[in-house]
Structure 1
Amino acid sequence: MNKTNPEKAIKELTIMLMYLTRFNEGDRFGSNFDMAWKGYDFDIINELDEEDYIRQGSHRSKSVAITEEGIKLAKELLHKYNVLDWK
């Protein structure tokens, strides 16, 4: 099995944790996005935002919206790391 480099692992684990700890506030960003708290490395959060896996809205906000692509990626990573999803 190939090893994942630390930078990639941090990014993958961050989106997975955002997905697993998500909550829903209804129509906050013009659509019904699942949300996650922003308590992760800011450089990683910025990268995930630039790649459209999350949306930060205001940089002062304490939460982010997880996009459909972010949810899709998180589910793929759950499978990769052999982690069960919520039922």
Structure 2
Amino acid sequence: MKDPIDELTLVLLYLTSFKEDIGLGEVHRSWKGYPFESLNELSENDFIHDSKRSKSVYLTEKGIEIAKELMKKYNIIEQ
């Protein structure tokens, strides 16, 4: 990712995510109230999975890992 907006969108998705049990395990879901351009970019990079019908996305393991790395980069401390 080269765009700081996309990076920070991923961080916000992670920080505002909630865990949901989907039967096969837990996933991190977050509401998609962010720019569609950024959500599309994150989806193309396999950081999130998006459904056109759903109002939320879920973060992939790769997306969670990258979000945590970006939090270090931007000096964001998770509470």
TM-score, normalised by the number of residues in structure 1: 0.82
One-letter identity of the residue aligned with 1:19: Y
Question: Could you list the runs of 4 or more consecutive aligned residues of structure 1 that deviate by over 4 angstroms after TM superposition?
Answer: none
Equivalent in the alignment of 2:28: 34
Count of residues in correspondence between the two structures: 78
Residue in structure 1 matching 2:54, options 56, 61, 65: 61
State the identity as a percent.
49
Matched, 1:85 2:78: yes
Show structure 1 runs of 5+ residues with no match. Answer: 1-6
Higher fraction of strand: 2
Superposition deviation, residue 31 in structure 1: 4.4
Superposition deviation, residue 18 in structure 1: 0.3
Equivalent in the alignment of 1:44: 38
Please state whether the residue corresponding to 1:25 is helix, strand or coil: strand
Which structure: larger Rg? Answer: 1
Equivalent in the alignment of 1:71: 64
Show structure 2 runs of 5+ residues with no match. Answer: none
Equivalent in the alignment of 1:18: 13
